[in-house]
Amino acid sequence: MTLRFLTAASAIALLSAASSANAAEAQIAYDTALFHADYDGVSGTAIAPASTPSSASDTAAQAGTAQRAISTQFADFEEEQGSSVAAEPTDIPSFRDGYSRKLLLTNGIASLEGASGGGIATWAILAGMQERGFGGGLHATAVLLPDFDWQSFGAGVSYANRIELSYARQRFDTRDVGAALGLGQGFTFDQDVFGAKLRLFGDAVYGDPLLPQVSLSVQHKRNRDGAVVRAVGALHDSGTDIALSATKLLLAQSVLVGGTVRLTKANQTGLLGFASASNPDYSVQFEGSLAYQLSRRAVVGAEVRTKPDNLGLGEDDWMDLFAAIAPTDFLTLTAAYADLGSIATFEDQRGAFLQAQLAF
């Protein structure tokens, strides 16, 4: 057990060290009232006056009000640096200047399959911290269970908060179970997951609070142990999931709500292959998320995910309870209690989900 925790901790420490160079960057307290109701995350103008000015004096007054409001967003910077931001208003970055960072934690984390969202559930959000231009991130994940170890490493990149491409390598260590199943002590299932996600409409943070961000995603999975998964009863060693997700952060309540409908043939997300002779078709599964933001840098929540039992091994639905913090603007650390139920007939697979994500 000690070795397993040290392995997970070393990956987290590596990403933490990479982020430390940016730890002193200004911490921005955003005033979301500045964002126009129709802002969709792609428009070059994120701040707009509520009405058309009727005269040159009105224009000047509104410009002054907007500049003062923008200054309040950088109050944390003023406190940390000991300088007056208001004294140099022209140096303050804004969406008009091309400054387009997302609010902290609104980029989510990386799921076990590499796509942005929660640990076990897909969200509609995209990778990285940028509303415009390129953003992305790297992640290292470990799930420590009584009879198995699950690891995932990968990266995601997005452009203009519109499209995301992701990759994850999954490793599922059977430890002593491998010998009991005749696979060999410590046999490891490996899988590559290639993902693409397209934001169709809406924004997870801004705009109409009743209109969520909606995204369509595709994940193509290739199991690297085809002969073994076919021997277990899987029909295929590769497969493609299709998911439609909706996510919304209700800023006034600090509550995030999300749901996903997934078409899949995957057995244990594909680590035990896809479909079976008795269940060869796609099935519809659901993923749900609910989170509460304690502060700009901390969030807690829960997720559920339903899964098919194509192989007849008693594959259970999943759930987790998670907490995530952002110690810097670029690093997110997540810990969760994960209940993955029965895996390959071994019951009560409950344990720790640990992840470090470095985003830009």
| Predicted confidence (pLDDT) per residue in 297-309, tens digit | 999 999 999 999 9
**Where do the CATH 2.40.160.40 domains begin and end in the chain?**
102-359
Q: Which residues does residue 283 pair with via DSSP β-bridges, in sequence order?
A: 264
- Confidence band of 180 (pLDDT split at 50, 70, 90): confident
- Confidence band of 181 (pLDDT split at 50, 70, 90): confident
341 has pLDDT over 60: yes
Arithmetic mean of pLDDT, 211-240: 97
Predicted TM-score (pTM) of this structure: 0.75
102-359: CATH topology: Porin (2.40.160)
CB 333, CB 356: distance < 8 Å: yes
Arithmetic mean of pLDDT, 208-215: 96
Arithmetic mean of pLDDT, 99-127: 92
pLDDT at 4: 54
